[in-house]
Structure 1
Amino acid sequence: MGKHVRTDDGRLLMAEEWGNPSGTPVLLLHGTPGSRLGTALPDLATHHPDVRFFAYDRPGYGGSERLPGRRVADAARDAAAVADALGVERFAVVGRSGGAPHALACAALLPGRVRAAAALVTIAPRDAAGLDWFAGMTPFNVREYGLATESPELLDEDLAARAAAVRKDPEGLVEDLRAELSEHDLPIVSDPAVRATLLRTYREALGTSHHGWTDDCLAFTRPWGFEVSDVTTPVLLWHGLDDAFSPPSHTRWLAARIAGSTLVLEPDAGHFAAQYALPRVLEWLRAQEDGGA
């Protein structure tokens, strides 16, 4: 069951924790659109009995109140509020897809609390110098991120309609995704555990409104509120080379600017392979812990 957490500015965030209450704390940040219920496959905690997992719905998703004008950087403050409410001082953080830039924000802005961070299938800042930002990106993402830059009102109308359709038929969004999936992603999304997790998170994320989806897109395409080069926490950057939702060039760009980061480019893997990569990511986080990170 979720738990409401109040932030220092009075907002409510819906949080969740599971796994070993005495284990090593790991914050999981969900994708776009998404919720705390879609951060990991159901058996992850069973296979990692030494981990205390926690997650929360970003503002505007699920049970969390909206934060108009939020920036990627605001995730650090919200993550700290959730950790405080759960009695967690230091923790690792893993963000997948839309959660990945927010994981980098936590690494940059909470260096005293975040032991290590992993950003899986991330995008780079929209103003990334020298990066052809839209190159290799699916038509859907090109459209939505383009609207976020050129016409936020149209973006909001478009996502409001899509969210309403998802509320009626969550399967529809999964089927829409299939049209843009790579050959390596198709079997993953057909995996019953992955499909069930996607449907669960979409229902929760968009059950009340589309605002979280809109605000994510706007936050990604505006200044993030921190410099990725300021990250000094150990960071793992993981990307499937057959990813068209978040092109691998974005992660390569970040790796060149985050000193000491660990770059993993996975051949024959797409966007949704990041779900399967989580166990190896947790092992990397454990290695940082053992090394005194």
Structure 2
Amino acid sequence: MYTELDVRAADGRILHAYDFRPTDDADERLTVLWHHGTPNVGEPPVPLIPAARRLGVRWVSYDRPGYGGSGRLPGRDVASAARDAALVADALGVGGFAVMGHSGGGPHALACAALLPGRVTGAVSVSGLAPYDAEGLAWFEGMAPGGEAELRAATRGADELRRVLTEDEWDPSQFVAADHRALEGDWAWLSGVAGRASADGVPDGMVDDDLAYVGAWGFRPDAVTVPALLLHGDDDRVVPVGHARWLAGRLPAAELRVDPGAGHVSVLSRAEEALAWLVDVSRPAAR
């Protein structure tokens, strides 16, 4: 379905990357770099493979540092994703590309759009966070207790965060009923990539992700000047919809689509239309 390869960074780190190409390379219209959530590995989104074949989309992705086969980068910020994404794209011979991220992958996708001008053609953030220092946003309002406890622990440092991640049980109330149905159906794949990421306990990548979310991101959201689609469920209890509304008011070329009744995972039922949108807005730039 896809090939895997290791890419070496200048600092000696390994980034484990993935490459899926449509069946007929002649129909390839756009490369989309996928940014995975927390905690996941970077396998391209298998539920979207049929749509990618139909639309002529090549998926490129990688395990963020500290996950799967990628070496850790302690102290990384969200902006560091732009450097790593560019490195992976270079290794695969990709020039211009679009980006798409789900959950914790959303901020990392936006980082690429902000920091790789002229190279990233468009961005989609699904269920993505806003910066922790977002002025006027009650950042934790609407979060389920388990997720809030995790991210508040991150504000107190790595040791406290790791303690909470290790000792606290997963809070199923973070997912609404529609999310649980999605995880039993088309998006069961998410449980698999999360399980692989956490097979040996709390992954370093999860600690580093959470610290990055509540730290300085390393870029301003208003630097994302390419077309950006913010897709969010209005019943999301992992990342409340207020985060998407805040971002929509700051990204110069943002479109906000709120899915009534959808949660953090079930909103992915609209990911296929988001992918088609990305192909449409990227086509002029890709030429």
Deviations 1:97-144 (A, max 9, x none): 000000000000001210101111111110111110000011111111
For 1:25-104, what aligned pairs fall within 5 Å after superposition?
25-37=31-43, 39-42=44-47, 44-49=48-53, 50-104=56-110
TM-superposed deviation, 1:194: 2.1
**Unaligned stretches of 5+ residues in structure 1:** 163-172
| Separation in 1, partners of 2:51, 2:152 | 40
Q: SS at 1:95's partner residue? A: strand
Is 2:224 the partner of 1:246?
no
Cα RMSD over matched residues?
A: 1.8
Partner of 2:196: 204
Amino acid of the structure 2 residue aligned with 1:143? A
Structure 1 contact 96–274 (Cα < 8 Å) conserved: no
| Separation in 1, partners of 2:256, 2:138 | 20
Partner of 2:126: 120
Partner of 1:194: 187
Is 2:172 the partner of 1:178?
yes
| Separation in 2, partners of 1:291, 1:81 | 24
Structure 2 contact 5–18 (Cα < 8 Å) conserved: yes
Which of the residues 14, 17, 20 maps onto 1:15? Answer: 17
Structure 1 contact 35–204 (Cα < 8 Å) conserved: yes
Structure 1 contact 8–81 (Cα < 8 Å) conserved: no
Q: SS at 2:268's partner residue? A: helix
TM-superposed deviation, 1:177: 5.2
Structure 1 contact 34–202 (Cα < 8 Å) conserved: yes
Deviations 1:208-252 (A, max 9, x none): 561000000000000000011111111111101110100000010
Amino acid of the structure 1 residue aligned with 2:241? P
Amino acid of the structure 2 residue aligned with 1:2? E
Structure 1 contact 59–67 (Cα < 8 Å) conserved: yes
Deviations 1:257-287 (A, max 9, x none): 1112111111121110243222111111111
Q: SS at 2:279's partner residue? A: helix
TM-superposed deviation, 1:188: 1.1
> Structure 1-normalised TM-score?
0.89
Partner of 1:137: 143
Structure 1 contact 40–275 (Cα < 8 Å) conserved: no
| Separation in 1, partners of 2:203, 2:235 | 29
Deviations 1:5-44 (A, max 9, x none): 112322101001113255221111100111112x5234x2
| Separation in 2, partners of 1:199, 1:241 | 22
Structure 2 contact 153–164 (Cα < 8 Å) conserved: no
Partner of 1:216: 209
Number of residues paired by the alignment? 277
